[in-house]
């Protein structure tokens, strides 16, 4: 009998990460749920899934990504899939340059870029041993000039290029891909001024005429995790938004 695969999904206590964890678990994959802060939600999700554990870790902090990976391997004895879903943003108008302070840039890059790098480097030996894969959750903002803020968009552009570099470096043993969501209806928008109007605008503009759902991204992550001849790809999952002028 083939041994069950094991997936570590960072930032998986809610939103896209939680949907990814559920989708992978639905295929019989053992899942390690993670968050930096939302412990109760993370533990509840792990309890909901058939064979999952929760590990609290802030992947942006020194040593924490390595501790998280080792915890996953200690729990299940292997690691086959790493999904880097942990991410943060700040909603800052692009023309408000003064509001995008150096501290905000550092905070966003620490999680969105260094967090991905630290988790991949910690996981790489285990993924090589299993012939596994990495799927990074990026953003359409890293491909087109948009997004919640300039620091966020630039951080996701960095993730996209890191994805390609790692795919070239870690192949053939490990595949590395990314999904780049457009606007997705997640808790990030809860209570945000203008969020409903922005969603309505996107739904009216994109060819598929709706805002994305976390489950849409989860399916794309699942597909890339199982696509044995795809690596170095940044897959836009935006309802066709990239086709707009």
CB contact at 8 A, 34 and 68: yes
The number of beta carbons lying within 10 Å of the beta carbon of residue 41 is 16
> Computed from CA positions of residues 154, 230, 78, 179, in that sequence, does the dihedral angle turn out positive or negative?
positive
**CA–CA dist 6, 151 (Å, integer):** 33
152 belongs to the catalytic site: yes
**CA–CA dist 199, 241 (Å, integer):** 13
Location of structure tokens 């012939």: 131
Task: Mark residue 62 as left, alpha or beta (left: phi above 0; alpha: psi -120 to 50; beta: remaining).
Answer: beta
Among 54, 76, 152, 222, the one annotated catalytic: 152
Structure tokens of 119? 């988790």
Distance between first and last Cα of the chain = 51
Q: What letter does residue 73 receive in the DSSP assignment? A: H
In angstroms, how far is CA 173 from the centroid of its own chain? 21
Read off φ and ψ for residue 175, nearest 5 degrees: -90, 145
Q: Which residues are catalytic?
A: 152
């Amino acid at each position: 009998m083939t041994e069950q695969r094991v997936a570590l999904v960072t930032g998986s206590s809610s939103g896209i990460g939680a949907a990814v964890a559920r989708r992978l678990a639905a295929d019989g994959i053992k899942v390690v749920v993670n968050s930096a802060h939302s412990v109760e939600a993370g533990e509840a999700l792990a309890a909901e899934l058939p064979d999952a554990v929760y590990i609290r870790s802030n992947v942006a902090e020194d040593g924490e990504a390595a501790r998280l990976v080792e915890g996953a391997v200690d729990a299940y004895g292997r690691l086959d899939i790493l999904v880097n879903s942990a991410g943060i943003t700040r909603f800052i108008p692009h023309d408000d340059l003064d509001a995008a302070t150096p501290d905000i840039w550092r905070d966003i890059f620490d999680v969105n870029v260094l967090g991905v790098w630290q988790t991949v480097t910690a996981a790489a030996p285990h993924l090589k041993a299993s012939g596994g894969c990495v799927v990074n959750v990026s953003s359409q903002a890293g491909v087109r000039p948009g997004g919640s803020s300039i620091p966020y968009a630039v951080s996701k552009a960095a993730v996209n290029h890191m994805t390609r570099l790692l795919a070239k470096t870690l192949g053939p043993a490990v595949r590395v891909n990314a999904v780049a969501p457009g606007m997705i209806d997640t808790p990030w928008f809860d209570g945000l001024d203008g969020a409903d109007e922005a969603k309505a605008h996107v739904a009216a503009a994109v060819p598929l005429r709706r805002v994305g759902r976390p489950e849409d991204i989860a399916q794309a992550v699942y597909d890339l995790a199982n696509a044995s001849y795809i690596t170095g790809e940044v897959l836009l999952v935006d309802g066709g938004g990239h086709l707009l002028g």
